[in-house]
Structure 1
Amino acid sequence: MIKLVAIDLDGTLLNNQKQISQENQAALAKAKENGIKIVLCTGRPLKAILPYLDVLNLRGAGDYSITFNGGLVQKNDTGTIVDKQALSVEDVTDLLVLAKQMDMPLDVLTDEVVLCFPTSSDHQTIYPKLNPLLVFQSATQQELTAETLYNKAVVAYDQKELDQWIPAIPKEFKERFEVIKTRSNLLEFMPKGVTKAYGIRLLAKELGIQSSEVMAIGDEENDLSMIHYAGVGVAMGNAIAAVKEAADIVTATNEENGVAQVIQQFM
């Protein structure tokens, strides 16, 4: 029996207009009425998904989200962090050096703001366009402090150029961090071992839920870990090939209310 459904946002729950369809809303509301935990599992910070939580009526006590690709497990009503894993100042410093060497834009997400560093004069970050709800501010390496929680670092740029940068990232960085594309034009650096599956595992333990009682629904590379972890892994019809191959079920696309279809099938 499914007790928790972990759902990715972009390309999964959201249609191409970045909206949650009425069909998806109704299916998730019905599942929640039946006692199933509905958990948004995303690379975004909590602040950037609050409008979606409101639409789904997931702002009450007992509602949770997994943010920063598993880096934080949070309570939706208060924002209280149940568990966390973050980058150190040394991690951020080394990523800034790498970005400067490769002439890439680099933004670092904290709990409060997105820090934009001057690592490239020729390539300007497009992250503000991807997440307009967040607060952005310019920063320098000298301003880094051990007291700040650095959740992740991102390179947001045109897909064609981004795909040329990725193979050039030194092996030691790929071994030290989780380096993964979460959208076609977004590359993320997370603490090693932090994935969506990591976050779901922490929350499931908190709630006393087994992996066999979890359904995970996604479409992109960063959803693979939770697709493998869940008792029922679901790939969207628009998912990349690797996600479809890993999934137990392939549902309809995000434009065809694939989330609602698989929820109705199981619930």
Structure 2
Amino acid sequence: MNIKLIALDVDGTLVDSSHIYISERNKLALRRCAEQGIEIVLASGRPMALIEPVAKELGYVKYAISANGSAVWDRHSHERIVSREISPDIAEKILSVVLKYPIALEVYCEGRAWVDHNWTVERFEKMPQQFLQMRNEYNRHCNDLYKEVSGKTVEKFNVDGMPRVMFDEIMEQLQPIRDELAIQYIECYDNMEINNRLATKGEALKGLCTLLGVESFEVMAFGDSENDVSMLKYAGESYAMENGEQAALESAKHIAKKNTEDGIAEAIEKYLLQS
């Protein structure tokens, strides 16, 4: 199998349920791939600031895809080499709607999450507290979120703990600009994500591969969620985690063991590292 690049989702795929811990077996398998010259790429819904600790722990990651494909980062130069962000005028229209609600909104901008006083760790019931504390440390806290974000391009709007009824209300109000956006609602976390409609992990990965001279059949990808589907469909060898959402399971060519059972390592050991 002639694989030149491995693209990895982070939460639900590479890390365990803590959203922080990477198993030693996964790290070793990926290190062996990197030593063979295979590019290891992280592809996450997180902002770059929250991908960075994972990349540092692995130690051999040069490129990362952030915010569901809104940006591709070169970690060595700290530059975005591919960008598909929400324009300032559309971002301001979204803000004018969502800020009417008492929600903990994160606006991914300039590689980190910008938040206001509504964002507190106590608001999140379905996320591990240690991970929330880490998120809080990397957040940029704003006195006036609308004022400070206005005029800037936005990578992603993210809300956890949003009831379905509130999501439906917001969708109705965003209808005039709906065609400009990619919007997901993740039921298990009561989570809403809003991106530029062209921002997908698959398109970001394709853009990076074009720059690196890598063909899709030379790519292996791992993911677990709906936001991984485009990446799984692009990769020549794709794996959905056994713990993944149905959309991911139906889109991948193979099923890997759960993220809590070293699913990445087992697949890599079996198909790439056999002596």
**Which position in structure 2 is the counterpart of 1:129?**
132
Question: Is this contact kept in 1: 2:47–2:112, CA < 8 A?
Answer: no
Identity across the alignment (%) = 27
The alpha-carbon distance between structure 1 residues 58 and 172, as it changes in their structure 2 partners (threshold 3 A), is farther
Q: Distance in 2 between matches of 1:102 and 1:140?
A: 13
Tell me by how many angstroms 1:136 deviates: 2.5
Q: Deviations over 1:46-81 (max 9, x none)?
A: 22122211221125xxx1111111111111223121
**Which position in structure 2 is the counterpart of 1:90?**
89
Q: 3-state SS of the aligned residue for 2:155?
A: strand
Question: Is this contact kept in 2: 1:3–1:214, CA < 8 A?
Answer: yes
Q: Deviations over 1:8-33 (max 9, x none)?
A: 01110001122110000010001111
Q: Deviations over 1:106-159 (max 9, x none)?
A: 3212116533357x89xx96499372341232224344443x34221111225x
Q: Give TM-score, length-normalised by structure 2.
A: 0.84
Q: Distance in 2 between matches of 1:156 and 1:212?
A: 35
Q: Does 1:264 align with 2:266?
A: no
Instruction: Give ranges in structure 2 of 5+ residues lacking alignment.
Output: none
The alpha-carbon distance between structure 1 residues 49 and 112, as it changes in their structure 2 partners (threshold 3 A), is closer
The alpha-carbon distance between structure 1 residues 140 and 256, as it changes in their structure 2 partners (threshold 3 A), is closer
Q: Distance in 1 between matches of 2:103 and 2:176?
A: 18
Question: Is this contact kept in 2: 1:113–1:137, CA < 8 A?
Answer: no
Q: 3-state SS of the aligned residue for 2:12?
A: helix
Q: Does 1:219 align with 2:219?
A: no
The alpha-carbon distance between structure 1 residues 112 and 71, as it changes in their structure 2 partners (threshold 3 A), is closer
Tell me by how many angstroms 1:212 deviates: 1.3
Q: 3-state SS of the aligned residue for 2:165?
A: helix
Instruction: Give ranges in structure 1 of 5+ residues lacking alignment.
Output: none
Q: Distance in 1 between matches of 2:103 and 2:52?
A: 30
Tell me by how many angstroms 1:98 deviates: 2.1
Tell me by how many angstroms 1:203 deviates: 0.4
Q: Count residues in correspondence.
A: 257
**Which position in structure 2 is the counterpart of 1:196?**
201
**Which position in structure 1 is the counterpart of 2:79?**
80
Tell me by how many angstroms 1:238 deviates: 0.1
1:103-122 paired onto structure 2 within 5 Å: 104-111=103-110, 113-116=112-115
Tell me by how many angstroms 1:37 deviates: 0.7
**Which position in structure 2 is the counterpart of 1:178?**
182
Deviates further, 196-205 or 131-140: 131-140
**Which position in structure 1 is the counterpart of 2:247?**
242
Tell me by how many angstroms 1:39 deviates: 0.3
**Which position in structure 1 is the counterpart of 2:15?**
14
The equivalent position to 1:32 in structure 2, one of 31, 34, 39, is 34
Q: Deviations over 1:87-107 (max 9, x none)?
A: 222112111222145554432
Tell me by how many angstroms 1:173 deviates: 4.6
Q: Distance in 1 between matches of 2:89 and 2:212?
A: 34
The alpha-carbon distance between structure 1 residues 165 and 231, as it changes in their structure 2 partners (threshold 3 A), is farther
Aligned partner letter, 1:157:
G
**Which position in structure 1 is the counterpart of 2:159?**
155
Question: Is this contact kept in 2: 1:125–1:155, CA < 8 A?
Answer: no
Question: Is this contact kept in 2: 1:24–1:259, CA < 8 A?
Answer: yes
Question: Is this contact kept in 1: 2:181–2:194, CA < 8 A?
Answer: yes
Q: Distance in 2 between matches of 1:30 and 1:104?
A: 43
Q: Distance in 1 between matches of 2:39 and 2:160?
A: 32
